[in-house]
Amino acid sequence: MRLEFAATGARTELFRVFETGGLRVRCPNTARGCEAVIVNTGGGIAGGDHAKIDIVAGDDADATITTAAAEKVYRAQNAEASVEVSLRAGARSRVEWLPQETILFDGAHLSRRLDIDLDSTASLTLMECVVFGRMAMGELSIEGSFRDRWRVRRDRRLIFAEDARIDGDITGLLDRPAIGRNARASALFVHVAPDAEARIDAIREALEPVACEWGASAWNGMAVVRMLSPSPELLRLAILALLRAMRGRAAPRVWQ
């Protein structure tokens, strides 16, 4: 899938789209910018599946990219599934990558990669949340593997790198105090903008009342938040509070 956003006067439009496989995109009317909702018509990701999403936001574009629902990653027989997202943001653009949760089923194997290239004047907000197991279905213990790799560059210079890997007895590892302290859901939030460091007090104020573990830092034109919770529902509430504080309005409508 390839999505290209362009500013046309005071508006931003999705002016070029390439869809393939089971991924489709829809753009509901919004009061600000252009909101693109990615729909997985296959209903989830199976072992051996490979999804690649390329996003380009032109100069002055204002784009939000989200998903229609939580992404389900099913048990894999042999090969792992992979998801690759690349994003380029032009001068003075404002881009949000805000997919809903990724849910790993027991036996799931997922490799995920996120590569970002920003202009120095662009504003970027990233949020990814992973849920380990279908707790509502009584799936309280899972095995499998999850690999996550993030690279963010500003003016072609690396400013943020993240690599995470957990495999085998995922639940047992997350129960360890030094790893997850019984967590069943985690989230990583990154905001890159000229004023990002000035937003750290507002971020901490929004998260102060939430019922989950979190830590927030700001440096080098970035604000980064990590969150953990034994309850995916409580973590989602924390994410919604954080997004409202950062956006000045609620999360995308499909999150509600």
DSSP letter at 208?
A: T
Summarize pLDDT for 108-157 with one digit per residue, the tens: 999 999 999 999 999 999 999 999 999 878 888 899 999 999 999 999 99
| Cα-based torsion angle of the residue sequence 176, 177, 179, 185 in order, rounded to the nearest 10 degrees | 90
Q: What are phi and psi of 216, to 5 degrees?
A: -130, 135
pLDDT of residue 31: 66
Domain locations along the chain: 2-255
The closest alpha carbon to 207, from 251, 250, 252, 237, belongs to: 237
pTM: 0.95
Q: Please, are residues 97 and 129 in contact by the beta-carbon 8 Å criterion?
A: no
How confident is the model at residue 9, as a pLDDT?
Answer: 85
Strand partners, 68: none
Q: Could you state, in chain order, the average pLDDT of each consecutive group of 10 residues for the chain (256 residues)?
A: 94 94 90 90 94 97 96 92 98 97 97 97 97 87 96 97 96 94 96 96 96 96 97 96 93 89
User: Coil, strand or helix: which one is 242?
Assistant: helix
Q: Identify the H or E element spanning 189.
A: strand 185-192
